[in-house]
Amino acid sequence: MEDSAAVAGRLWDEWLPRAVRQLIAEVLPGGEADARRLAVWLAGVHDIGKATPAFACQVEQLAQHMRDHGLEMRSQQAMGRDRLLARHGLAGQVLLGEWLEERHDWTARQTGQFTVVVGGHHGVPPEHGQINALDSHLELLRTPGRSRTLWRRVQEELLEACAAEFGVRGRFDAWRTVKLPQPVQVLLSALVIVSDWIASNPDLFPYFPQDVPRTSEERIAAAWRGLNLPGPWCPENPVGDVHELFASRFGLPSGAKVRPLQEAAFELARTMDSPGLMVIEGPMGEGKTEAALAAAEILAARSGAGGVFFALPTMATGNAMFPRLLDWLDRLPAPRGSRYSVLLAHSKAALNDDFTGLMDPKHQVAAVELDAPQKQREWRPSSRSRSAAAELVAHAWLRGRKKAMLSSFVAGTVDQLLFAGLKSRHLALRHLAVAGKVVVIDEAHAYDTYMSVYLDRVLSWLGAYRVPVVVLSATLPAGRRRELVEAYAGKVIDATAAAFDAVAQADDYPLLTAVTPGGSPVMRQPVASGRGVDVELERIEDDLDVLADRLEEELAGGGCVLVVRNTVRRVVETAGVLRRRFGDANVTVAHSCFIDVDRAAKDADLLQRFGPPGKTEDRPRRAHIVVASQVAEQSLDIDFDLLVTDLCPVDLLLQRMGRLHRHLRGGRGQTERPERLRTARCLVSGVDWAASVPEPVRGSVAVYGAYALLRSAAALLPHFEGAPGCPVRLPADISPLVQRAYRDGPDGPHNWADAMDNARLRHEKHRADQAERAATFRLAAAARPGRPLFGWVAAGVGDADDTRAGQAQVRDSRESLEVIVVQRRADGTLATVPWLGPDRKGRTRAGLALPTDQVPTTLAARTAASCGLRLPIQFSGAEVMDRAIAELEELSLPAWQEKSSYWLAGQLILPLDEDCRTHLAGFALRYSKTDGLEVTRV
């Protein structure tokens, strides 16, 4: 009890962000002093349920010792399964409530909002049925008969001692009239859980510190030194103008200017009535990321947030964002000696060198040395830092799926944010993790109805916590903009309804929209930066020979072309034809079916060859074609002379256009591009354009649905029919095209009406089905203040994590198989694949031996783990998946399942022969470094 309370006090004083402390403090009559007392007291009493027969009977030797002192109890066997009705969290909730009612005249209605913190300290607040069941088995709390009074006396003595020791004895009268909002109950629950976990760590708090008597102060001081937990970010509101801030935080090149969108976001963050939600809509390449980070610094200083969470749609975008976040952190001013905890939040973060380079050298917190003097920790900038003001660490204690998000600065997949809206065990920790940060949500247009159900509910809780949120998008439909703003602001009242209507009708671009919890939205319309591209659209027949002929004509004088296909199969087929025409060396393939290490190398290669001017010298001088799937849509700053793309939803098509003439090459005239390609042109294929109603290819319909594709075609129709006199003007046409494609009502020529109506009905049915399925495990909105969290995550999913199975809980995607690709040599031994280059330390990774009778070396095991591959959709059907798993499990190696095999335990291994081929579940698989995985049915 004493240890947990002491840890809670230290966490309150040195770790909790100011915003979290303020939220709890403002509902208590004594302000922050009351809030600290309450947190420390709840942490102190959280295990009172262990002082019961149901708990104490578990170790017979100790139970007998208690019996010898008059505390009678039956054996664990005699109690049977009834004992589970009085798990110690629930038992503690009942005992604490009873004590408050009997000793301090509280009512049962008043106690629940406080005692639920005790009842839920193992991650799941009790349900009403569990409480009622225990009420009918009170013998589990106190053995009937002569020892009943003694049990009661022991329990009351402990509670009275806690009230006195932790300074709350005189506060119960004042707290009796308090109505704790549910967000405050959640934060207190999370703080107690963290305190319990730290105090229960025997490395920090040895069970038997018997050498010499120690005071409580010495014990907690030694444990806190051993934990060495980094404190929160405490930024000051930056002084100076926007140009000074951007120059110091982002290293603007000489002569570069802050763009109007960035300046407007900076000023809006400074002038909002209070920190709230800001939606930033602007063109691709306009610097929205920098605008979000600048706004985050201001909003954090104003709100008391202690960190930033940057949520992105995929692991690839998360990996791309992480070094940018670190660069920003390196430039932030901070008191000398500051340490911040940093996290890359996705399931393969341990394979990211930028992240692992920040890890503590030890895998566990330091063991306690009670006699060790308090040393001033020597500070050194990180090796990757240019001018770091704070040390950045991936702290050892803040690892694992339940604790990691408590790190101060996080870049990762949006799934980690959506999990905060999923009824799951230890959900309170996820809420504490986001309640103390500024949350940035990138690519907001990329989330479908299923994910949006969770996102909107999370936004409602973020509004309840008053968390500053920045939402970024280049192509956000106006209706979706309103949904995001309303979700955060809460219930719309008549007085503000018109302002929310205006949000849904605004067609300005760029556009900033801001709202505070319970407030009325405001909008700002910054001018465009002046950088624009006119893109001529043209329909092209979906025939590979026609495409090859056209590209031969276009590339006669050289040039770089991006061909984007909607399915991996179309990528591979297209690349095969173009290679026969242009040569293998002049065609590059990029899609999602590469092993992780090859995918990362592929992205790096694309950036190196097709990145911005001045950052690459390897741009092909002769004709070169990149054939890619959707991986080329976002996160990669790549620039091409000509674009060919399958028809897709218009917002995604515009994203693809953002890779066309993305940078100036030779000034406004683009004179450094081949003469024929100095005008930006986009050829749209993947459709039978000759049909009376355009017929997209089956693969595109399977990915996006017919309705979204037809709406896209209808919105683009004037630009097709008017070309070249009616180009798509970027960024001016981005918002009009998106709003037209996503607005309600008919669109397209009259003869499209029947096909469009049929597609719309299927689309609406699909969306309704998504929303209904997503709502099954969605967290309820915060209830009225004073209502306890009983049953808060009832009928939930259990534990949530960021594995493929975990992601399927917040994404409407079929569960897929992930395998680790290795090679089986002619002699039957296993090795890592032979084409891998050296790691960052220059160590060889290709062809490393993987012994089957023992755990491989750390380097070999980590290298193998970096060759993860997500099998394509052919393996997602239940029957095929079951067969594939059964075949892969036959290849399981017992030696690799040892706990010491961190990288390989529990993984499915896919061995390829020396020709990189194999068979699995009725399919032939072939892998190559250049083309990735090809799958054909046998």
Q: What is the pLDDT of residues 312-363, one digit of tens each?
A: 998 888 888 999 999 999 999 988 888 999 999 887 887 888 888 887 544 3
Determine if the peptide bond prior to 275 is cis (ω within 30°).
no
- Asked whether the predicted pLDDT for residue 388 surpasses 90, the reply is no
Tens-place pLDDT, residues 496-549? 889 999 999 998 999 999 999 999 999 999 988 877 899 999 999 999 999 999
Residue 755 has a pLDDT of 96
Least confident of 271-275, 390-394, 671-675, 772-776: 390-394
Residue 815 has a pLDDT of 67
Contact between 493 and 479 under an 8 Å Cβ cutoff? The reply is: no
Instruction: Give the Cα separation of 578 and 626 in Å (integer).
Output: 10
| Cβ-proximal residues to 573 (8 Å cutoff; 6+ apart), any chain | 544
Residue 809 has a pLDDT of 79
Instruction: Give the type of residue at 728.
Output: V
φ/ψ of 832, rounded to 5, equals -70, 155
Within the chain, what is the greatest distance between any pair of CA atoms?
Answer: 100
| Cβ-proximal residues to 876 (8 Å cutoff; 6+ apart), any chain | 814, 815, 816, 817
So what's the architecture of 2-194 in CATH? Orthogonal Bundle (1.10)
For the chain, the straight-line distance linking the first and the last C-alpha, in angstroms and rounded, comes to 64
Integer-rounded Cα Rg, in Å, for the chain is 30
Residue 723 has a pLDDT of 56
- Asked whether the predicted pLDDT for residue 371 surpasses 70, the reply is no
Closest by alpha carbon to 770, among 431, 455, 486?
455
Tens-place pLDDT, residues 821-832? 999 999 999 999
Residue 367 has a pLDDT of 42
Tens-place pLDDT, residues 94-152? 999 999 999 999 999 999 999 999 999 999 999 999 999 999 999 999 999 999 999 99
**Total count of residues recorded for the chain:** 938
Closest by alpha carbon to 470, among 432, 444, 431, 496?
444
Give the domain ranges of the chain: 2-194, 533-730, 814-937
Residue with tokens 């020709």: 915
Residue 814 has a pLDDT of 65
So what's the architecture of 533-730 in CATH? 3-Layer(aba) Sandwich (3.40)
Mean pLDDT of 613-632: 89
Contact between 42 and 121 under an 8 Å Cβ cutoff? The reply is: no
| Cβ-proximal residues to 668 (8 Å cutoff; 6+ apart), any chain | none
Domain 2-194 matches domain 533-730 at the CATH topology level: no
Residue 807 has a pLDDT of 54
